[in-house]
Chains A and B, each alone.
Chain A
């Protein structure tokens, strides 16, 4: 009667064989591409539909968890901090009819939107914040993207330890989503440096890495292929999915 032993050892062996086989296959480019094909299906079927849930004031995390890279410490960002971001400009350019450079007071004069939404990190945790700022769609309306423009790229002030800057991108549908926000305030106060001051993106319908912090420049483009690794974002260039709805 070694059946129980047989069962336990066969399942254990199957599970233990999984990791080395999977790890070996993981390094194969063809396998990597095939596995990545699920992203297209997710984008097609889930896509950008509906609205992220909005919460009440009581649900807000007063100490909103700090995510992403370390707060920039370079001379440029130190300069912005020193003059309370008065020398900061949010640039909007690329394939647009009307290139723009917003000061913070400028951005504050555009209609302000507030959302209390949940930030879902790809790691698995979630936090709720009250975000106020300008609808990305309103800024795009002012810049008037050209006909063939497909993507909106966000270039940021933070860099990784190797010096590669953070960036992100959305397609036009995602960028025009009513909850896609250029946030200036968190929980009623101007963004602090650790939360992406002076301007961060909020995309509550996708995972947190899409919500780029320390946004400096918004560039409208027709293709993502020539920008950095071509994946459409810093983490996308490291193998994460560009479509981050799942």
Chain B
């Protein structure tokens, strides 16, 4: 028996979701373009090779290496010596097929990055304001009372428990994920990006200091990108395993059809 469809996502949420997807992909690929201009990261304020965490190099023509915490591996073809975006290969951090634009062009990479940084940030502010007014953000934030339910929920997923712990709109693990990504990591990525800018450092010195200085802010910015990519993988995996078409339709039209997922699985 088919239950009536429920309206799950508002127009603002749906728009924000797809704009973020495009903005995130552009920010990653233009960000890698910018990274390539100085393909190393230091845990320090000024550049300091003694505190180098990551370095992508080309020790000689035709060879690419990646050094992470002092351990060097050969990454020829992938990192260090790779696709130059112009049909050939050359000394380059990340390959041209991953960057905007494909060829080495810091000026244009910055144009894309700074524009879409604003798009993603404005979108986030609009989504938070609209969600606070409608009360959906309040339901999404992880609260101290949810902490005790995290393991029971995980145990349920692992089939160690028959019933999930009682919860309202979002289960405790969903709340933990959304709170961490939407209200901790994503804002930290934006703030670390601002913190590595000299104008922002002058305007708000404590911000850059809190990240450990300019180069450290650049490192956090990069780490944050990887955490967001990790979230993207988990998120798409969940969509793919929870009734892909129903989920996609819900995020496009707003309407979710309960029960369809179960039917399609049997």
Contact = CB atoms under 8 A, between A and B. Distances in A.
A binds B: yes
Interface of A: 3-4, 6-8, 10-11, 14-16, 18-20, 22-23, 26, 32, 34-39, 41-42, 46-53, 59, 61, 65, 118, 120-128, 204-207, 235, 238-241, 244-246
B115 A38 contact: yes
B199 A7 contact: no
B158 interface: no
17 contacts: A14-B25, A22-B30, A23-B100, A26-B100, A42-B114, A47-B199, A118-B46, A122-B37, A123-B37, A123-B38, A125-B215, A126-B214, A128-B46, A204-B198, A239-B108, A240-B107, A241-B114
B107 to A, nearest CB: 4
Interface stretch (B6-14, B137-145, B148-156, B233-241): B233-241
B164 interface: no
Nearest to A14: B25
B38 A46 contact: no
Interface string B185-220: 000000000101111111111001100001100100
A121 B197 CA distance: 10
Given A238-B107, A239-B107, A6 B240 contact: yes
A124 B35 contact: yes
A22 B46 contact: no
Contact of B101 (A6, A14, A26): A26
Given A3-B240, A125-B38, A19 B46 contact: no
Given A15-B98, A20-B102, A235 B107 contact: yes
B112 interface: yes
B111 A35 contact: yes
Contacts of A35: 111-112, 115
* Interface size band for B: 35 or more
A22 B232 contact: no
Given A15-B98, A239-B111, 7 more contacts: A23-B100, A47-B199, A50-B203, A53-B209, A120-B197, A126-B214, A127-B46
Contacts of A11: 232-233, 236
Contacts of B103: 23
B82 interface: no
Contacts of B111: 32, 35-36, 38, 239, 241
Nearest to B95: A19
Contacts of A240: 106-107, 110
B222 to A, nearest CB: 10
Given A46-B200, A206-B199, A18 B25 contact: yes
Given A7-B237, A124-B34, A118 B102 contact: no
Contacts, number: 164
B18 interface: no
Given A23-B100, A41-B118, A127-B46, A46 B197 contact: yes
A183 B35 CA distance: 30
B46 A50 contact: no
A208 to B, nearest CB: 9
B10 to A, nearest CB: 24
Nearest to B117: A38
A15 B200 CA distance: 30
Contact of A245 (B110, B197, B236): B197
A124 B218 contact: yes
Q: Which 7 A-B pairs have the closest CB atoms?
A: A245-B199, A124-B38, A22-B100, A239-B107, A246-B197, A123-B37, A35-B111
B146 interface: no
Contacts of A61: 46
Interface in B15-72: 21, 25-26, 28-30, 34-35, 37-38, 45-47
Contacts of A51: 202
A49 B112 CA distance: 25
A38 B198 CA distance: 17
B247 interface: no
Contacts of B232: 11
Nearest to B239: A7
B227 to A, nearest CB: 15
Nearest to A123: B37
Contact of A10 (B35, B85, B102, B236): B236
A240 B141 CA distance: 40
Contacts of A206: 198-199
A240 B37 CA distance: 14
